[in-house]
């Protein structure tokens, strides 16, 4: 029972730590008069992937690569089927915002590169560096596109992260809380998830693909639900696409540099193909401008439920 309590506690610390760290970092950047566009493309984007990043780093240090890679692959699957499917039961949305199709193609490209790296069941340090370079190129491209479009980046930031502090003591307090909570929560999560995997006699991959992935996808789910309720489709869909790109580019870029990550046969032969199918599904919805309403949402939730159930059975 203690392991389950520690797992919930660890995930809770990750969610709270990631949220307050982003708010503190955005508040500090605004006080330093950093352009809103740079804040949105760096601090907010990296911050929403902070739980997955700290989980993967801790898993790499603890010698549990199954949780690290499983968390990234599982989060990308959950982001499409769960994070897009569940809000659709509340209000319909479409993948037809300007520029979203281009970013979905980038997401598919990152997914394909990552899959090629997984074929030998090892993500090396060199491959991690390659993913980081690709992410930096993507960020530069986003900067150029956003600068040309002259979008109201400040408004988009606060729609996504909410109100941010302006008081320096509060900013530093939030940064301190986030920087303490994230590694501590990651350690609790990895240790308890590994113990639960041993108790259930399932692989660490399965725990990373399901329980840990769902837990670390909760910030994206909360953001997407709120954006859907406000009819902010660009925030909702962009949040999922951006998170999937950052999960691969930053997390699988940084973690293997700390320690090369070994992937199991299950992830190579099954789960990474499910991840690709989810990316292609999102591309199809965008290309044909299909409304993601209750019917499509129900299908997506059902598919995700069956995927999770199959992960524990097989």
pLDDT in tens, 82-105: 999 998 998 887 776 666 788 899
Res 205: pLDDT: 92
Q: Is the pLDDT of residue 156 over 70?
A: no
Higher-confidence residue: 42 or 252? Answer: 252
Query: Once rounded to an integer, what is the mean pLDDT over residues 61-78?
Result: 92
Higher-confidence residue: 113 or 98? Answer: 113
Instruction: Kindly report the CATH number assigned to the domain that includes residue 92.
Output: 1.20.1420.30
What's the pLDDT tens digit per position in 41-61?
A: 567 667 777 888 888 888 888
What's the pLDDT tens digit per position in 26-39?
A: 888 888 887 765 67
Higher-confidence residue: 23 or 80? Answer: 80
Query: Once rounded to an integer, what is the mean pLDDT over residues 289-311?
Result: 94
Q: What is the domain extent for residue 66?
A: 2-313
Three-state SS at 32:
coil
Structural domains counted in the chain:
1
Res 284: pLDDT: 92
E strands, the chain, are 93-94, 122-123, 261-262, 291-292
**Exposure string for 173-186, b = 16+ CB within 10 A, e = fewer:** ebbebbeebbebbb
**Exposure string for 88-106, b = 16+ CB within 10 A, e = fewer:** bbebbbebbbeebbebbeb
Give the whole-number percent of the chain exceeding pLDDT 90: 49
Q: pTM above the 0.75 mark?
A: yes
For residues 121 and 262, the answer to whether their CB atoms sit within 8 Å is yes
What's the pLDDT tens digit per position in 182-202?
A: 999 999 999 999 899 888 889
């Amino acid at each position: 029972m203690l392991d389950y309590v520690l797992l919930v506690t660890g995930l809770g610390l990750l969610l709270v730590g990631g949220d307050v760290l982003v708010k503190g970092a955005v508040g500090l950047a605004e006080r330093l008069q950093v352009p809103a566009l740079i804040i949105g493309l760096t601090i907010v984007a990296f911050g929403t992937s902070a739980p997955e990043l700290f989980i993967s780093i801790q898993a790499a240090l603890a010698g549990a690569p199954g949780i690290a890679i499983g968390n990234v692959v599982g989060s990308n699957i959950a982001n499409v089927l769960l994070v897009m499917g569940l809000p659709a039961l509340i209000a319909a949305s479409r993948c037809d915002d300007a520029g979203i199709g281009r970013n979905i193609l980038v997401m598919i490209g990152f997914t394909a590169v990552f899959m090629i790296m997984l074929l030998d069941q090892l993500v090396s340090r060199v491959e991690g560096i390659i993913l980081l370079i690709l992410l930096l190129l993507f960020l530069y491209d986003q900067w150029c596109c956003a600068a040309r479009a002259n979008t109201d980046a400040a408004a988009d930031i606060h729609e996504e992260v909410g109100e941010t502090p302006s008081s320096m003591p509060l900013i530093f307090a939030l940064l301190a809380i986030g920087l303490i909570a994230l590694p501590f929560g990651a350690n609790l999560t990895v240790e308890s998830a590994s113990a639960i995997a041993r108790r259930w006699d399932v692989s660490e991959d399965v725990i990373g693909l399901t329980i840990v992935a769902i837990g670390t996808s909760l910030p994206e789910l909360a953001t997407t639900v709120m954006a859907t309720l406000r009819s902010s489709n660009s925030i909702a869909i962009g949040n999922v696409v951006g998170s999937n790109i950052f999960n691969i580019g930053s997390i699988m870029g940084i973690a293997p540099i700390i320690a090369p990550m070994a992937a199991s046969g299950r992830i190579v032969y099954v789960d990474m193909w499910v991840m690709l199918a989810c990316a292609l599904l999102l591309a199809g919805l965008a290309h044909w401008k299909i409304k993601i309403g209750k019917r499509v949402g129900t299908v997506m939730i059902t598919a995700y439920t069956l995927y999770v159930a199959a992960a524990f059975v097989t």
